[in-house]
Chain A
Amino acid sequence: MSNILVFTETTGTKVKSVTLEILGRLAGQNIEVATVGELSSEATAELAKYGAQKIHCLKGAGLENYSPEGYAKVLKDFISTQNYDYVFAGSTSTGKDLFPRLAGMFQAGMASEVINFTMDGGAFAGTRPLFAGKCLAKVEITGPKPHFVTVRPNALGLTDSPTAGAGTKVDVAADAGAIRALVKEIIKGASEKLDLTEANIIVSGGRSLKSAENFKILDDLANVIGATVGASRAAVDSGFAPHAMQVGQTGKTVAPTLYIACGISGAIQHLAGMRTSKVIVAINTDPDAPIFTRADYGIVGDLFKIVPIMTEEFKKLLS
């Protein structure tokens, strides 16, 4: 059995779902959780339900906003007082930026964005995609401990039968130290929806959308089924959508439950970024488009005709 710390972030009063996915997979290990700032009682209960024995809330001045240096320092200070074998986090914007710096402070190894892992005999072995998912490899960590791991959201899934932990919440006084790269301002995104990397459902558009305005028909569908809208590189390069929406090897790698590709031909670099989606629906006028080789349900047809009908059908189904 290993001693493990899972770093969690919160969205409002909830912990990020990826934390619960990680906790569920770690059942049988001695698991503690750390966060920066306060946790709601709802979040604390969720963490306990999924196996957290202790929950450490790191609190102090200078931690109101994320900063790579401040967060890394307080976590390093805390971890140094404990005896963890592994430290996990979700591969989120924060996890991706924070963990390499934190691992570096311990001269320790880190496995990024694993999509699966085992803890046989308390030792981590992970599977991670490389080349944007065009291939997979087994990854193990060597060298000084603790070892660091980030896990891709939506990849493990939530366990149906979590093993509960004591969930004792403890406050830890933290000193962020001098922060050189400081957040002065946060500008909210245009959409309040889940990020593509965390979304359960994605509706994605390609160059066939022909204009930025036409993405509205995808927005309409997305609103009905609670999806986040994405785009292919061709659509982004044509100026129809911002890069933040790009799915693929030079955009975001996504793993939703349902991916609806509208007017996307399926270039290899796009397929790489969305191939781990659980169910793929493709709509395209070209019956030979490569996207159909990956689609569970392919509709050969004009997206401008099909998508509005689909929106109405979903409305009926979900009403």
Chain B
Amino acid sequence: MNIFVCVKQVPDTETKITPTSDGSYIETSSIKWIMNPYDEFAVEQALLMKAAKPEAIVTVVRVGSTKDAEALRTAMAMGADEAILIDGPDHLDSYMTAKAIKGAIEKSGKTADLILTGKQAIDSDSLQVPQLLAQMLNMPSVSVVVGFENNGGTLTLKREVEGGALEIYEVKAPALVACNKGLNTPRYASLPGIMKAKKKPLTTYSLADVGVSDDDKRLKYSAFKLPPEKPPGKKFDAMDEANQAKVVSDVVNLLRTEAKVI
């Protein structure tokens, strides 16, 4: 059984984002990179599958720059068996990324029985690669998954939709599952795991190797800028019980008369 897990490297959630002076992208020189948080749930789910089926091979795939393959090593330190890095910019558009991963899976010579991804990458926030990749591979897909059961290759998946409602899907592998927070608790990489990960195979492909060229570009981004700053608001001190009622009453009235939102 072959399980592929797609991971992305993204700026840590605490990162302050600064657009480049020409607005072509963001300053990336001093960013702390982490594995996309949603991808951790995908890696963990693959490892839970492997625990039940030890013969399963878990391959992590990432499209991005080679300067730092941290996310792939982290996934292997958690327990993934091997890794594929497709050497390209960290912010290819979704179409190119999905096509590159498809190419890499095909080039690996393995048939994917299950593909796991995070539900979205927290940098581009496009939520496209999982569904695009599934479509390109002619696979069913279920996204925003918070529940996962496997009964002999038939998966029962809980997909979270609006208002906390759940759609319960049943699908036979091969399938693609895009994971959400709450699905499981990702493990930490152990020290022996980190040592072992260094010896695990990491294959690198170029974009050309996986059949991706500039003709596959579908989005043109420009004018990266910070969102407009709001003017400072009004602040009221209501630590003292004596003026709480007045402050709250004032604010509630301002919401009607000044802000006109209620």
Contacts and interface: CB of A to CB of B under 8 A. Distances in A.
B165 A258 contact: no
Interface of B is mostly: mixed
A131 B125 contact: yes
A185 interface: yes
A292 interface: yes
B251 A194 contact: no
B233 A297 contact: yes
Interface centre among B128, B157, B247 (most CB of A within 10 A): B128
B219 A140 contact: yes
B236 A187 contact: no
Q: Please tell me the size bucket of the interface on A.
A: 35 or more
A283 to B, nearest CB: 8
B94 A191 contact: no
Interface centre among B168, B180, B255 (most CB of A within 10 A): B255
A194 B162 CA distance: 8
B170 interface: yes
A296 interface: yes
Given A135-B17, A198-B162, A182 B171 contact: yes
Interface of A is mostly: mixed
Given A109-B93, A184-B168, A258-B262, A68 B142 contact: yes
A105 interface: yes
B37 A250 contact: yes
Interface in B161-192: 161-172, 175, 180-182
B163 A183 contact: no
Interface in B32-48: 37-38
A112 B140 contact: no
Interface of B: 11, 13-17, 19, 23, 26, 37-38, 93-95, 98, 122-132, 134-136, 140-144, 146, 156-157, 160-172, 175, 180-182, 217-227, 230, 232-239, 241, 244-245, 247-249, 251-256, 259, 261-262
Interface of A: 65-66, 68-69, 72, 92-94, 96-98, 100-101, 103-105, 107-113, 129-143, 179-195, 197-198, 201, 225, 242-246, 249-251, 253, 257-258, 267-269, 275-276, 278-281, 285, 287, 292-302, 305-306, 309-310, 313-314, 317-318
